[in-house]
Amino acid sequence: MTPASVALDFAPLDLAESEPPSALDLVTLTILAVNCLGPATMRSATYGKAHRVVVSDPRVGAVFRAALDLMGETRRTDRLIEVVVETNGASAA
Protein backbone atom coordinates (compact mmCIF):
# COMPACT_ATOMS: atom_id res chain seq x y z
CA MET A 1 0.00 0.00 0.00
CA THR A 2 1.34 3.42 -0.90
CA PRO A 3 0.72 6.61 1.03
CA ALA A 4 -2.35 8.49 -0.12
CA SER A 5 -1.84 11.78 -1.88
CA VAL A 6 -4.22 14.68 -1.74
CA ALA A 7 -4.77 17.25 -4.43
CA LEU A 8 -6.96 20.09 -3.25
CA ASP A 9 -8.75 22.08 -5.93
CA PHE A 10 -8.77 25.80 -5.24
CA ALA A 11 -10.62 26.73 -8.44
CA PRO A 12 -12.90 29.75 -8.03
CA LEU A 13 -16.56 28.90 -7.57
CA ASP A 14 -19.45 30.68 -9.23
CA LEU A 15 -21.53 31.19 -6.10
CA ALA A 16 -24.22 33.17 -7.93
CA GLU A 17 -25.55 30.00 -9.58
CA SER A 18 -25.17 27.57 -6.69
CA GLU A 19 -25.59 27.33 -2.96
CA PRO A 20 -22.61 28.38 -0.84
CA PRO A 21 -20.42 25.41 0.05
CA SER A 22 -20.86 24.23 3.60
CA ALA A 23 -17.77 24.53 5.73
CA LEU A 24 -16.38 21.64 7.72
CA ASP A 25 -17.23 21.98 11.38
CA LEU A 26 -13.85 21.85 13.12
CA VAL A 27 -15.24 20.34 16.31
CA THR A 28 -16.96 17.54 14.39
CA LEU A 29 -13.83 17.00 12.31
CA THR A 30 -11.72 16.72 15.46
CA ILE A 31 -14.13 14.22 17.01
CA LEU A 32 -14.09 12.14 13.81
CA ALA A 33 -10.30 12.23 13.76
CA VAL A 34 -10.04 11.08 17.37
CA ASN A 35 -12.71 8.39 16.98
CA CYS A 36 -11.64 7.10 13.54
CA LEU A 37 -7.94 7.82 13.08
CA GLY A 38 -6.93 7.35 16.72
CA PRO A 39 -7.85 3.65 16.93
CA ALA A 40 -6.55 3.03 13.40
CA THR A 41 -3.13 4.53 14.15
CA MET A 42 -2.96 2.59 17.42
CA ARG A 43 -3.76 -0.70 15.68
CA SER A 44 -1.31 -0.13 12.83
CA ALA A 45 1.45 0.86 15.25
CA THR A 46 0.77 -2.10 17.54
CA TYR A 47 0.24 -4.85 14.98
CA GLY A 48 2.01 -3.42 11.93
CA LYS A 49 -0.94 -4.26 9.70
CA ALA A 50 -2.92 -2.16 7.25
CA HIS A 51 -6.20 -0.68 8.41
CA ARG A 52 -9.05 0.97 6.51
CA VAL A 53 -10.98 4.00 7.76
CA VAL A 54 -14.31 4.69 6.04
CA VAL A 55 -15.74 8.21 5.97
CA SER A 56 -18.86 9.55 4.28
CA ASP A 57 -17.64 13.00 3.23
CA PRO A 58 -14.95 13.46 0.55
CA ARG A 59 -13.71 16.62 2.30
CA VAL A 60 -13.17 14.71 5.54
CA GLY A 61 -11.38 12.01 3.53
CA ALA A 62 -9.07 14.61 2.00
CA VAL A 63 -8.26 16.11 5.41
CA PHE A 64 -7.64 12.65 6.92
CA ARG A 65 -5.36 11.65 4.01
CA ALA A 66 -3.38 14.89 4.30
CA ALA A 67 -3.01 14.39 8.06
CA LEU A 68 -1.86 10.79 7.60
CA ASP A 69 0.66 11.87 4.95
CA LEU A 70 2.19 14.37 7.38
CA MET A 71 2.09 11.99 10.35
CA GLY A 72 3.55 9.23 8.17
CA GLU A 73 6.79 11.21 7.89
CA THR A 74 7.56 10.55 11.57
CA ARG A 75 5.52 7.41 12.28
CA ARG A 76 5.86 4.97 9.37
CA THR A 77 2.98 2.77 10.47
CA ASP A 78 0.57 5.64 9.69
CA ARG A 79 1.30 4.90 6.04
CA LEU A 80 -0.56 1.62 6.50
CA ILE A 81 -3.90 3.38 7.00
CA GLU A 82 -6.17 3.74 3.99
CA VAL A 83 -8.98 6.31 3.97
CA VAL A 84 -11.99 5.34 1.87
CA VAL A 85 -14.93 7.61 1.08
CA GLU A 86 -18.24 5.77 1.09
CA THR A 87 -20.98 7.34 -0.99
CA ASN A 88 -24.49 5.94 -1.36
CA GLY A 89 -23.59 2.58 0.12
CA ALA A 90 -20.64 2.00 -2.24
CA SER A 91 -17.05 2.71 -1.32
CA ALA A 92 -14.64 4.59 -3.54
CA ALA A 93 -11.01 5.43 -2.79
Residue 87: pLDDT band with limits 50, 70, 90: confident
Domain ranges of the chain: 26-92
Cα angle 75-76-80, degrees, rounded to a multiple of 5: 120
More confident residue, 6 or 51: 51
Burial class (CB in 10 A: 0-12, 13-18, 19+), 66: middle
Question: How many angstroms separate the CA atoms of 59 and 70, rounded?
Answer: 17
For residue 1, is pLDDT > 60? no
Mean pLDDT score of the chain: 79
Q: What's the pTM? A: 0.67
| Residue 21: per-residue pLDDT | 57
- What is the per-residue pLDDT across 17-43, written as a single tens digit (0 to 9) for each? 545 556 778 898 899 899 999 999 999
